[in-house]
Amino acid sequence: MAASLLRLHFHDCFVNLPMQGCDGSVLLDDTATFQGEKTAPPNLNSLRGFEVIDAIKSDLESVCPETVSCADVLAIAARDSVFLTGGPSWEVQMGRKDGVSASKAAATASLPGPNSTVAVLLANFQNVGLSLNDVVALSGAHTIGKARCSSFSSRISGGAGGGPDINLDFVQSLQQLCSSPDLSTTATTAAVAELDKGTPFTFDNQYYTNLLSGEGLLPSDQALAGQDQETRMIVETYVEDSDRFFEDFKASMVRMGSLVGVVGNTGEIRRNCRFVN
């Protein structure tokens, strides 16, 4: 679940309405009178790990009731997921409050999609106060995890994102994976591929090596090496120096984790991460 828990924190923080940010809003279930972020297109049938967060929160509530927010649980779980898969550790800033609202529309608009160009990625990141270097460093989270065929269909059809350096063998392997012998089935959309086929369960810098060889799975991944000279230079730096990647990733995670909109009495510490108190 490491990649899924890391992704939950990212998808929570990036919804940057004035009262949101890293506020646990992505964890809220829909009700008869409320529609939150879980059904937004970037999240629907994509995010996982909610039951893991529920179990952590339940344990915390049994020992220290209403003390640790769901937003802080997400931040800590993301850090531990990175560390337990071989990546760096860092001190997580604490004290976030849980939001009492969420926005499907804001999640749809704020979260960068898998077909994003570098320009679109940068605009999304700059909207929440993050930089081009943060774009490349945080994209390194794709060194673990998987993606559905529907997320990289343009890579299959035309090698999108790679510019002139399309790796035809890699594209053909994806075509084979995602092709369905029976077009009446959902096999094409249900199939998944590793985001980093080299070391899929280890948090390392292999993701960046893949980009230089044209083997970035998502178009938005491959774009970092094929569309922009500045992002390509950062990719090359991380390939040559894994320690630099780890240091930059830690710093970017802390910056992202500080995107907090809810302050003071506006937020709360939920007893159940799925519902406001």
Categorize the per-residue pLDDT at 234 as very low, low, confident or very high, splitting at 50, 70 and 90. very high
Handedness of CA 57, 113, 103, 125 (dihedral sign): positive
Give domain status of residue 277, yes or no: no
pLDDT at 157 over 50: yes
pLDDT in tens, 108-127: 988 999 999 999 999 999 98
Query: How far apart, in Å, are the Cα atoms of 251 and each of 3, 11, 258?
Result: 19, 18, 11
182 is in an annotated binding site: no
Higher pLDDT: 168 or 82? It is 82
Give domain status of residue 226, yes or no: yes
Most confident of 54-68, 185-199, 262-276: 54-68
**Of 7, 11, 57, 97, which residue is the catalytic one?**
11
User: What is the separation, in whole angstroms, between the first and last Cα of the chain?
Assistant: 27
Please give the pLDDT value at position 16. 72
Please give the pLDDT value at position 12. 95
* 149 and 183, same domain (yes or no): yes
Q: Cα 190–191–192 angle (5° rounding)? A: 115
Please give the pLDDT value at position 101. 86
* 70 and 139, same domain (yes or no): no
204 is in an annotated binding site: yes
Higher pLDDT: 185 or 176? It is 176
Give domain status of residue 190, yes or no: yes
Number of domains present in the structure of the chain: 2
What mean pLDDT comes out for the span 223-234? 96
Q: Say how far apart CA 258 and CA 13 lie, in whole Å.
A: 8
Categorize the per-residue pLDDT at 103 as very low, low, confident or very high, splitting at 50, 70 and 90. confident
Structure token digits, residue 65: 């009731």
Residue 20: which CATH number?
1.10.520.10
Q: Which of 241, 260, 222 is nearest to 71 (CA)?
A: 260
169 is in an annotated binding site: no
pLDDT at 184 over 80: no
12 is in an annotated binding site: yes
Q: Cα 129–255–212 angle (5° rounding)? A: 85
Higher pLDDT: 108 or 16? It is 108
199 is in an annotated binding site: yes
pLDDT at 69 over 60: yes
Please give the pLDDT value at position 163. 54
What mean pLDDT comes out for the span 211-216? 95
Q: Say how far apart CA 210 and CA 224 lie, in whole Å.
A: 11
Please give the pLDDT value at position 189. 54
Q: Say how far apart CA 30 and CA 141 lie, in whole Å.
A: 28
Categorize the per-residue pLDDT at 45 as very low, low, confident or very high, splitting at 50, 70 and 90. confident
Residue 142: which CATH number?
1.10.420.10
Give domain status of residue 118, yes or no: no
* 210 and 153, same domain (yes or no): yes
| Lookup result for tokens 């995890």 | 145
- Helix/strand/coil for 193: strand
pLDDT in tens, 34-43: 889 999 999 9
What mean pLDDT comes out for the span 236-247? 98
196 is in an annotated binding site: yes
* 15 and 94, same domain (yes or no): yes
Domain with 9, as residue range(s), is 2-113+256-266
Residue 268 phi, psi dihedral angles, 5° rounding:
-150, 175
Is 9 an annotated catalytic residue? no
